[in-house]
Amino acid sequence: MTEQISARLVAALNHLAQHRQCISYGALAAQIGLDGPGRIRRLTDLLEALMEEDAALGRPLRAALVTGKASGGVPAPGFFLKASALGLCPHPLPPERAKTFHDAQLEALFAAS
């Protein structure tokens, strides 16, 4: 089941990048078939695994396409913590620098699509 969910996640993120769109965590979880308690945590685990893969391959972070409703149009704080752990940005990032980092990831994703 996890491989199917992962494949749907990658397909959904690729589609979003091609159409220059972002999506909320909840909407993406529903779109790829994650439901029930802990669905957002399971989604963030999958997104963090993709971040590791993207960073290892020198690609922009596909997880940047997923934004939090409560975080003002940028990903949730865990995105920035993971990016920092991967050596891609310092932690903590002031809000304006977080937005700049996020915008740069989006532009790189859109340019690559």
Whether pLDDT at 70 is above 90: no
Whether pLDDT at 1 is above 80: no
Residue of 69 and 37 predicted with greater confidence: 37
DSSP 67: E
The amino acid sitting at 112 is A
Q: What angle do CA 55, 103, 112 make, to 5 degrees?
A: 55
Within 8 A by CB and 6+ apart from 35, the residues are 29
pTM: 0.95
Burial of 80 (0-12, 13-18, 19+ CB in 10 A): buried
Whether pLDDT at 45 is above 90: yes
- Bridge partners of 67, per DSSP, are 24
